[in-house]
Amino acid sequence: MTTNRSIGFIAAALMAAGTTTALCCREALARGPAQGPAQGEPAASASTDAPPRPLQVLADARPWLTGPAPSLRGKVVVVNFWTYSCINSLRALPYLRAWEARYGDKGLAVIGVHAPEFDFEHDPAKVRAATQALGVAYPNLQDNAFAAWRAFGNEGWPGFFFIDAHGRLRGYTVGEGNYAEAERLIRKLLDEAGHDTSRLPIAPVEATGVEAQADWASLRSPEAYIGYAKAQGMASPGGLARDASKTYAPASLLPLNRWDLAGSWRVSREFARLDKAGGAIGFHFHARDAHAVLGAPADGQPVRFRVTIDGKAPGADHGTDTDAAGWGELRQDRLYQLVRQHGTRHRSHCAHRVLAPRRASLFLHFRMIRKAPATRPQFRRSPSRKRKPSYR
């Protein structure tokens, strides 16, 4: 039998006025089922909106975070649309790094197109720091205006385009998964270009920490935004006040997949900011992992936060960015793993408590993503869509 558990999130922050921090909790992106090639057949279709000359789009795009635009003529190219705070994008990185290591000297080029989801991800310096920390050594384009995104007809994070040595688009997929099919397509395109891959073994890709693949079977919670533009499931009495400070009270009952606030918060279209010390966030969810996208304070001081489960230290269920006592430290704007529960049952009642001392300012965005479909997504001509957020 499963039990209800609570998970408390406590953040202590010493921040100057005007600090911009962001928090979110997310699990995994689920792509809808679609018709695709037969089992074992490599992908050969492409986005119907993709450009006829995709390499020219990359050659003309600016700015590149790693120097001048790379020379891609005659190469097989994998283009990955991603954003560094997205758990779905992060879980694809082990495969992209592995493909570059295996086939980079055989004519493959991996290209990242960083298309930001949140405001702080527009800063090239932060993206450069993130790529270095994540071990992303291949060239990356900063696509703040989504120009390359639109030119390619990309439909979500992470998006993958496969281009042959003649510059023709040969495959496209969006969302997590399909990595075996993708690698078969890469090998096929390299073989077509005269690079024999038959002697190169296909080894399993090891992924650990936040990059480990999702536990899809335990995922029962839909995504939840706290910014008012897309907020749903708010349970605090009186609802959200837009762009105004309000003292919130926790809900007397928090059903599964509902969330609440306690304390003084200012909720904007994309995030919520804690105005005074002693705030709290509650979210009842069913998942293995809890992640948070946190932004560091402008004064550069580290932020200590704590996660508790049922009011106690998480112990073995702590995330990669928290210790067994539940403590973690925020230093960069990035995604943090707060909790990774163990065992076969992951039903959680989350009460995230956010506390701050005298001068404090906390922006908050909290998110979970729903369970994957029973049918594994395939490469397809018209994939189901998860477009970039539109905050209006």
pLDDT at 189: 98
Contact between 388 and 230 (Cβ < 8 Å): no
Per-residue CA distances from 16 to 11, 358, 359, 363, 386 (Å): 15, 10, 7, 13, 36
**Overall average pLDDT of the 200-214 stretch:** 91
Q: For residue 370, is pLDDT > 50?
A: no
State the pLDDT confidence band at 353, using cuts at 50, 70 and 90. Answer: very low
Are both 59 and 168 inside the same structural domain? Answer: yes
Give the model confidence (pLDDT) of 242-256 as tens digits.
999 999 998 888 888
Report the C-alpha gap between 207 and 131 in whole angstroms: 17
Give the model confidence (pLDDT) of 321-331 as tens digits.
989 988 888 78
pTM exceeds 0.85, yes or no: no
Report the C-alpha gap between 252 and 239 in whole angstroms: 14
Give the model confidence (pLDDT) of 106-151 as tens digits.
999 999 999 998 888 999 999 999 999 999 999 999 999 999 999 9
Are both 351 and 279 inside the same structural domain? Answer: yes
User: Which residue range(s) make up the domain with 295?
Assistant: 6-28+215-364
Tell me which residue has tokens 């992209």.
96
- Most confident option among 71-85, 285-299, 351-365: 71-85
With 0-12 / 13-18 / 19 or more C-beta atoms within 10 angstroms meaning exposed / middle / buried, residue 191 is: middle
Are both 63 and 101 inside the same structural domain? Answer: yes
Mean pLDDT check: name the lowest of 14-23, 36-45, 81-90, 158-167: 14-23
Tally of domains within the chain: 2
Looking at per-residue pLDDT, the higher value among 303 and 37 belongs to 303
Are both 159 and 221 inside the same structural domain? Answer: no
Which of 169, 191, 211 corresponds to the end of one domain? 211
pLDDT at 381: 30
